[in-house]
Structures are given as structure tokens and as C-alpha cells.
Amino acid sequence: MKLHSRSIATGIIISLVVATLVASCSRGHDALEYAYKVPGPNRGELEKVMNHYKEEPEKLAAARFLIENMPAHRSYKGDEIHQYYEIAKGVLASGLSPVEQRDSLLYVSDYMFPGLEDRTISDIRVIKSDFLIRSIDQAFDEWKNRPWAQHVTFDEFCEWLLPYKAVELQEMDSWRDTLSTFFTWGLNNMVHDDDTYETTFNAVHTVRNEINWRIKPYGLFNKNGYRLLSADLMHRQTFGNCLDYVTLAVLTYRSVGIPCVIDETPYWGRFRSGHSWYTVLNNRGEELTSEWDVSSVPGGAFFTDKRIPKVYRNTYAINRDRQKYLKESKYKHPFSMCQKDVTADYFNTSDIEIPIFKNAKIAEKYVYIATFTGMNTDWSVVDYGTVKRGKARFTRMGRNVMYIALGYDGIQLHPISRPFILHTNGSLEYITCDTTQTRSVDIRRKYYQSNNVAKMRKRLLGGKIQCSMTADFKEAVTLYTIDNLNIPDKIPVTADQPYRYWRYMSPNGSYGSIAELAFFDTDTKRMYGEPISNTKDGGAISRAYDNDWLTNFETGQADGNWIGMDMGAPKSVAYVRIVPRSDDNDIHPGDVYEMRYWDANNEWTSCGIQAAQGNTLHYDNIPKGALMWVSDLTRGMDERPFLIDDDGNVVWW
């Protein structure tokens, strides 16, 4: 079992937070007094804030809230981050493409400022009174004076508007001034009608449109350099991932009194990573969620096709249950100290009790629940629970997801239950394999088929392989018609004589969509000639012959499309390869694969490694009911486990 682990930096930060916070777990300690004890020389700065508001009870309570939860929040230590930001400012203004900027800052991060994420300090040790006072005053001013914030209670204000930062390591700068200056021209010039002006949604809509218009977000989701968490850089940012643009949205919204928070899932139920988005509290008390980042309008349907094990809300307040966990646990998973579980606010959830193995070795009362993530790992922790009477108990778990329970034996996490599925109706199904009964398995993909992939694949139905003696195909001979989607990698064809012109004629309504086309005169020898098509778009034609199954031949017209090859002289073709437009997670001829199954000893057993000879992998002697996992050892990232039902269908998890 290969458990997914967070970065070393995250572990270091968690250890530091635990060291400074565990002593405050006792409810007998006053949280504010404890916070005062943490900063040492900085205590005077905090006292200045409290004294400043001694005649203003509401602001005093707000200051107390910020200070007593401040030990859990961190900033970069030292001046290196400012040096990095200066370099980043130049890169963003360089005229380089967003991808080139990202690559440049990744290089700078890795080679000029390695380990910067390890050099952090608690905000309570460095925050200045004038910064905190101005931040509090600005938050109150927006809360009290903006019409779209009048519905917010004091407790909601403390989480949705008040905090001086939205994410950890954010620069303690004048972000409210900066962002409200750059992105609120439209807001400040809205028509004061009697219909929409005072609504939170209208304010969000106006600000969101301006952000998108001014910075034109460009999503780059693989590895980036250090995040640009200075307000002076945020309004210049030309690239970013979801969290980057979500952070920009939340800070900009808060700067003008729009109550907003960041929600996230650590991992999707059927994907290797997680996701962050923003949620707005509108004037009717509704929580309007975006799906993606600032590009999404909040309040629409929320990922109706995604399976989600957990949703956590990033808070400023310390989660005292997690604080207690970090104090008491022996294995300290790097859960954020400042998050709360809001899964049940999104969809139906279940509190579950999972029987654990009788011989399971558990060195503490805490246990963990994990989902499969894939890409060189298997199980990744999404939450913790406790053991009671031989059962692992977990609360508010998302449904239609496959999980496993894990325990800590004093050295590492290990399975303490069989993998199980929490179905949409709340029922539990445990996955077991029967080694006394085996079966043969044929697999055509290593990842589940999305709706878009299925639609693109369906565009092949009715497609024809044709040949002709003339380039106009007026007397085309049809050798094969695609009438099902389980076509072989190389479709055998037999013509009555050699022909010079060969083509794939796509069905009407398909826009000609294919990823690759190839002709063979034997099972292994590929034929080459002059690419031809009904379109004059050379770029589109070349994409059918570039050996890249993620590029596609397609035209702008729905009907009458074809693509083929002029062989230069009449030739006999024995096989034709037609690859549907897809995500390239079909079994790829020539790639090396390994299939494994989860065995009775609660670990993955290899079924063997093989190079794919076609677009199907075949394995024998697979235990009935086994959970299986196919990995492409040559390339790619997307992998999901699956079961085979009684009818032989693949069921992905």
C-alpha cells in the first residue's frame, strides 16, 4: 500500500502549530490570555489593539476573536519572500506568455528560494497593531455601510468579512485598499435602482465581471512556483490555478463588504486531487457556491456529476476538535487547524460504523478514512474518526464513494477494513475477492469514461472505411462500417484489388472527429502517403497523423467530412486504425501496463506486466469480485480502480 502524503513543509507547519497550541486545549485556560503568552515581545502590539477598542464593545469582541485564534495562522519569516515577489513582479510585466511566466517563477522558486515554505512564523509573533486596527476598522466600515452586507450577523461577520487574511502565508498588506481600487469601478458606479442594487448577488456579479475583464484568468493546474499572495501581485496575475483565483475573488469581495469564504474538498471521489471554490452568503441567507474560481457564477448547480467524499470550509477560527486531535493523536495527519466540516450542507451524507479486523494493530483511539486517488499512490486520507466496540466510526461521509479504513500501528498507517462502497442510498457494500473462483478479464481503459469522451466515441458510429481509384471518391468502395464501439485496434479490411486512395468517411453530424488514422499492409508495417481530406485545413489534417491521441482531426462543418491518404499508386491495405477523440486513457498499443488486485491480505497483488499489443489488455486467473487497478507504466496520470459485475461490465470507483 502506497499512502499519499502531503508535503514535508506542511508537516513542519503542523508540528509548529501543535507545539504552540496544544497547551490551550484545556477549557480552563482563557484563549485570549493564552494568545497573549505566545507572542513574547509582540504582546505589546496586541494590547495596543485591545486598548484601542476598550470603548467600542463590538470591535473589541472582533479584536478578541482575531487574537485568540491568531496562533494558528502563519506568514513567511524574513525578507526572502519580498525578494521573490519583486522578481515575480518583473516576470508578470515581462510580456512572456502565461506558461513561460509560470515556468520562470517555478525555476526561481526551486533554485533561488528553495525551502522558503519551511521558514514561517506565527502571525501573533509579528503582527503590528496599526495593521490590525486598520483591518478591523475597514471590515466594520464595509459591514455597516454596504447595503449588500446588512444581513450578516456578528458571528457571520467574524468569519465571512473580518479576517485580515483568507489563506495562510498571505502577505499582511493593504489588500482591502489595493483590490477595492482595481476591481470595483463597476460596483461604485452601479445604477441605484429599486430592484437589484442592494442584493449581494448583484454586487458579486458586478465585481466578478470586472475581475475577469481586467485580468482574463488563465488556468494552469500543474506545478507552479510559490503562490503570489501579495495584493500588489494579485491584481497583475496572468496565470493561476483554482485556489489562486478563488483567493483573489474572496479577498476582492471582502474588500467591498461581500461576505465570502473558501470551501474545498481534499480529493474528489474519483480523481487524484482536490479542488477549491468560493461561497457567498447572500442577503436572503443562502450560501451560493461557485463551481470553479472567479470564472464561475455562484449559485448554479454544483458539480452534479462529481462524487465528493468531504467538503471543508476554511475558517479563521481554530477548530477545537482538530486541535484536540493534534494534541492526543500519535499519528498526526496534516489536517488544517482552521477548517470545519460542511459536507452535510452540500448533499446527503452518512455517519458510518465500519467493523475492523479482529487482529488489527491500532496504537491509538483515532482511525482514518481514505479514498483511492491513483497516480503512483493508492489510498489518501480525507478524515479521521474513532474506534469504539471494535468499529471505526466516521461522520458526515459523502455517498457514492469507495473508501477504506486505516489505523496507525505505531509505525505507519495500514488497512483495518476491507475497501467498501458507501452507496447513494446510504447502504454499505464491502469488497471481497473469492480466490476459489477466478475469471478472465479484458480491459479497454484504465480510467472511467467521462460524458464528453462517451459522446466523442459515439461519433464513430456509422463511419466507413472506403477506397477508390479516383481522388474524388465518386465510385467509393465501402469495406467496413462501424456499427459498434468495441472496434479492434486494427480493423481488418479486404479489397478486391489494390486502390490508390483510402479514407475514413465520418458519419453526418460528427464534424469528422477522430484522434488518429493509420493504414497498415501487414499487422505491424504502417503505410505512408500523402494525407488528403475534404478540408483544406492542413493543421487539422496533420493532427490525424501525428501519433498524439490527444490532438484531433475535426472540421467546422457537421456533415460530409472525410480524411484519408493518397498512396501514390494502387496498394493493398490489410488493416486500418481509427482512434476516437478521447482523453487518451484507452489502452494504448505499445504502452506497458500492470494490473493489480486487492487481495485477501489487504494489499495489491500484481497480475503481471505486459506491453499492449492492441487496444485491449487480457488477464487470466483474476479472483471473482476483486477490486482491480490498471496502471500505464509508460506515461499518463489518470487511473481508477474498478470492479467487474456479474454481466461482465466494468464498474469504476
What's the confidence (pLDDT) of residue 363? Answer: 95
Bin 616: left if φ > 0, else alpha if -120 < ψ < 50, else beta. beta
Burial of 633 (0-12, 13-18, 19+ CB in 10 A): exposed
3-state secondary structure 106-166: HHHHHHHCCCHHHCEEEHHHCCCHHHHHHHHHHHHHHHHHCHHHCCCCHHHHHHHCCCCCC
pLDDT band at residue 350 using 50, 70 and 90 as cut-offs: very high
d(CA 538, CA 346): 48
* DSSP structure string for 505-521: EPPTTSTT-BSEEEEES
pLDDT digits (tens, 9 = 90+) for 586-618: 999 999 999 999 999 999 999 999 999 999 999
Average pLDDT over residues 520-544: 94
d(CA 582, CA 559): 20
d(CA 429, CA 296): 36
Average pLDDT over residues 118-125: 95
d(CA 286, CA 299): 9
User: Residues 6 or more apart from 105 whose CB is under 8 A from it?
Assistant: 87, 88, 91, 224, 225, 226
* Beta bridge partner(s), residue 530: 566
User: Residues 6 or more apart from 153 whose CB is under 8 A from it?
Assistant: none
In this model, does residue 136 exceed pLDDT 50?
A: yes
User: Residues 6 or more apart from 146 whose CB is under 8 A from it?
Assistant: 203, 256, 257, 258
What's the confidence (pLDDT) of residue 591? Answer: 96
pLDDT band at residue 40 using 50, 70 and 90 as cut-offs: confident
pLDDT band at residue 531 using 50, 70 and 90 as cut-offs: very high
- Cβ-contact 567, 598 below 8 angstroms: no
- Cβ-contact 515, 582 below 8 angstroms: yes
- Cβ-contact 203, 258 below 8 angstroms: yes
pLDDT band at residue 24 using 50, 70 and 90 as cut-offs: very low
Tell me the residue type at 111: Y
In this model, does residue 527 exceed pLDDT 50?
A: yes
d(CA 545, CA 126): 60
- Cβ-contact 156, 317 below 8 angstroms: no
Average pLDDT over residues 41-65: 95
User: Residues 6 or more apart from 378 whose CB is under 8 A from it?
Assistant: 1, 2, 3, 4, 372, 604, 629
**Termini Cα distance of the chain:** 17
In this model, does residue 19 exceed pLDDT 80?
A: no
- Cβ-contact 491, 574 below 8 angstroms: no
Burial of 115 (0-12, 13-18, 19+ CB in 10 A): exposed
Burial of 46 (0-12, 13-18, 19+ CB in 10 A): buried
In this model, does residue 406 exceed pLDDT 70?
A: yes
Give pTM, 2 decimals: 0.90
* Beta bridge partner(s), residue 355: 391
What's the confidence (pLDDT) of residue 405? Answer: 98
Let me know the angle formed at the C-alpha of 615 by 611 and 617, rounded to the nearest 5 degrees. 55
d(CA 312, CA 576): 50
pLDDT digits (tens, 9 = 90+) for 156-208: 999 999 999 999 999 999 999 999 999 999 999 998 998 899 999 999 999 99
